Amino acid sequence: MLLTPIALASKSPRRLELLRSLDLTVRLVDVTHSETIDPTWLPHDIPMNLARLKNQSARLLRNQEEVLLTADTIVLLEDKILHKPLDKADAIASLQKLSGQWHEVVTGVCMSAHHEVAFSVSTRVLMSELSLEAIRYYIETYHPYDKAGSYGIQEWIGWSHISRIEGSFSNVMGLPTSEVFEALRARVLF
């Protein structure tokens, strides 16, 4: 099945990997955009709003035959955002908060060609109890400094300490592939 090629405006290697796993032709677009969060936005709206702003910043970089795709992912614990960690201490603190808790991973996606389509997907995740030793091992081995909530579900911590998931696994990695594929397949954008 041949689908329209994608211009991906993202620095996330996981998003690139996920799109390529859908057998899509993907070209990376380098765009710098401020990820400043408007204090009036509700937590669940933040990823989609940021994805839209990134998309608007990158529109001129899209080739005519491509769909421009941007995304943003946040981790919410009791409606509070756990950002990408600033340093090791911040990563330890985030993982200690997530230990033994349900949390939510929300990814906002914006795709544009002739029209814009934007949506967000939410996945609930239960992380089992983490010892300080396990947290330190994970951080020192995997360096999760580019990951919202200080962890990657596709890494050791996901295989060893994620005990339940309700929703899309790929969404927790940073892109809800099924929803993206369906939007492209339905040719909603054209």
For 165, the token pair is 């998931």
Burial 41-55 (b: 16+ CB within 10 A, else e): eeeeebbbbbbbbbb
Q: Which residues are catalytic?
A: 72
Radius of gyration (C-alpha) of the chain in whole angstroms:
17
| Residues 33, 154: Cα–Cα separation, whole Å | 26
Report yes or no: 111 and 126 within 8 Å, Cβ to Cβ.
no
- The values of phi and psi at residue 70, to 5°, are -130, 155
